[in-house]
Structure 1
Amino acid sequence: MHKQESILIVEDDYDIARIMSDHLRKEGYDTTWASTGKEGFEDFKVGEYSLVIVDLMLPEMDGFSLCEKIRLESEVPLLIVSARLEEENKVRGLGLGADDYLTKPFGLAELSARIRSHLRRYRRYMIQDEEEIQRFSRGLAIDYVKRVVYLNGAPLMLTAKEIDVLFLLARNPFQTFTKVDIYEHIWQQEDSEGNNTVTVHIKSLRDKLKDQTRASKFIQTVWGEGYRFIGDQLS
């Protein structure tokens, strides 16, 4: 392993988390442990992980919600580990973007094999992704790796939160996000007065993108619902 890969373990059972973490460290991985769904998402937002292991039954935020939030902004492999055997849970978890589902109890050798398989695919994806900048008509280009947004070849002076909002929308084109969705995902707080915060950031983004509300090129208002990204991606 040329570069030590980092794995985030989100598991509320201390003994299980310790066994997985100790085993994966012996395998050469760096591991971070979070005991709640909310803590796991906070760790994910500030760290760089090659794979995330998620239990379903978590306090504060369940594993389903955590997988959904992570998948909105990253293609990192998601491996669900759960004692819940029901097929509907597997279907729901995979439908939310998880890559695999491992039922407890499981062997550590199988865990390692699954992780190696997903990491091989993710490495190939990352090599391709880093070579490309997503380009749209009307002069918009987004470099997700360097976190730089260009308009007609010139880099835009966006704040960190403006970039986060744009990335969330652009990574999920034509999906409508309410103001509450955006606020809770980007600011990681329950919405209180967040609606105005989102409105201000969307307005600033539109001004910098030269995007008019009545003739949207990139960010469209879905009246009574929220916002969605409608940029026309170039092939």
Structure 2
Amino acid sequence: MKARLLLVEDDPEIARVVRDMLKRENYEVTWATTGLEGWEDFQSTSYDLVLVDLMLPEMDGLSLCKNIRWKSNVPIIIISARKEDEDKVEGLQLGADDYLAKPFSLIELKARIESLLRRWRRYEGKQFSEQKTEYVDGLTVFWDEQKVVMQCKEIPLTAKEFAILKVLLQNPNRIFSKSELYQHVWKQADADGLHTVTVHIRSLREKLEDPVKKPRFIRTVWGRGYQFIGEQK
């Protein structure tokens, strides 16, 4: 197989045409019909490129792009019937690498996929796996082990606490709303669990001994959400 692609498209006619073309080109293709299904597929399997429609049920394409970009630098191509410049700009600002308006040529789509995959493979070849990251004030994160150490003492975090901390750490100084954190960590499109996020943030702060009024790691931006402010060594 050339590469493994994720196609997130709710129009079955378009999806089948694109999927069949890609399979003829020897790509392995997973087809998701909703944004939430696409997000779940992305988290369960490693992909080389993602094709995303904007107007999707359960989770819209822009939210899906944002979630994927929090987790990975994998190439993203938006394919959408919405041709407004605002949609294109927003999609690219959220991390998409390319934007193709419907109706589009399969030949053009194929060329753009091949171009992005070439760049992605060059990028991957230059990367190396970081086993751990150290921060000022004694915080060390061991990524492969999902372990957090504070002042040489391991901090027992739950899976959800580590997942929240990971999102914040990998996007330093970016402000995440409770809704965004809930959507990303609990993998649900609605925001019914905002209190749950508050509880987990409070628990994280207690374990890291990080006071709300004088934070070293997690700052509350009132009315907006949370951001990681720790300084990496």
1:80 corresponds to: 78
Given the alignment, which residue of 14, 18, 21 partners 2:19? 21
1:179 corresponds to: 178
> Which moved further from structure 2: 132-141 or 42-51?
132-141
Distance 2:51 2:45 in 1: 14
Q: Secondary structure of the residue that 2:56 maps to in structure 1?
A: coil
Distance 2:148 2:28 in 1: 31
Distance 2:141 2:5 in 1: 27
2:226 corresponds to: 227
2:45 corresponds to: 47
Q: For the Cα contact (< 8 Å) 1:149–1:155, is it kept in 2?
A: yes
Q: For the Cα contact (< 8 Å) 1:176–1:225, is it kept in 2?
A: yes
What is the one-letter code of the residue matched to 1:113?
Answer: A
Distance 2:148 2:138 in 1: 10
1:213 corresponds to: 212
- The CA RMSD over aligned residues, in Å, is 2.6
> Which moved further from structure 2: 113-122 or 144-153?
144-153
Q: Secondary structure of the residue that 2:51 maps to in structure 1?
A: strand
1:104 corresponds to: 102
The change in CA–CA distance for 1:225 and 1:62 in structure 2 (over 3 A counts) is: closer
> Which moved further from structure 2: 111-120 or 134-143?
134-143
What is the 5 A alignment of 1:36-185?
36-132=34-130, 133-142=132-141, 144=143, 147-151=146-150, 156-185=155-184
The change in CA–CA distance for 1:188 and 1:111 in structure 2 (over 3 A counts) is: same
1:191 corresponds to: 191
What is the one-letter code of the residue matched to 1:44?
Answer: F
Extract unaligned runs of 5+ from structure 1.
none
What is the one-letter code of the residue matched to 1:174?
Answer: N
Q: For the Cα contact (< 8 Å) 1:140–1:152, is it kept in 2?
A: yes
What is the one-letter code of the residue matched to 2:41?
Answer: D
The change in CA–CA distance for 1:145 and 1:51 in structure 2 (over 3 A counts) is: farther
Compute the TM-score of the two structures, normalised by the length of structure 1.
0.84
What is the one-letter code of the residue matched to 2:79?
Answer: V
Distance 1:111 1:39 in 2: 23
Distance 1:214 1:16 in 2: 52
Q: Secondary structure of the residue that 1:217 maps to in structure 2?
A: coil
Q: For the Cα contact (< 8 Å) 1:130–1:145, is it kept in 2?
A: no
The change in CA–CA distance for 1:209 and 1:201 in structure 2 (over 3 A counts) is: same
Distance 1:67 1:122 in 2: 17
Q: Secondary structure of the residue that 1:130 maps to in structure 2?
A: coil
Compute the TM-score of the two structures, normalised by the length of structure 2.
0.84
Q: Secondary structure of the residue that 1:181 maps to in structure 2?
A: helix
Extract unaligned runs of 5+ from structure 2.
none
- How many residues are aligned here? 231
What is the one-letter code of the residue matched to 2:31?
Answer: W
The change in CA–CA distance for 1:119 and 1:160 in structure 2 (over 3 A counts) is: farther
Distance 1:106 1:224 in 2: 41
The Cα of 1:25 is off from its aligned counterpart by 2.4
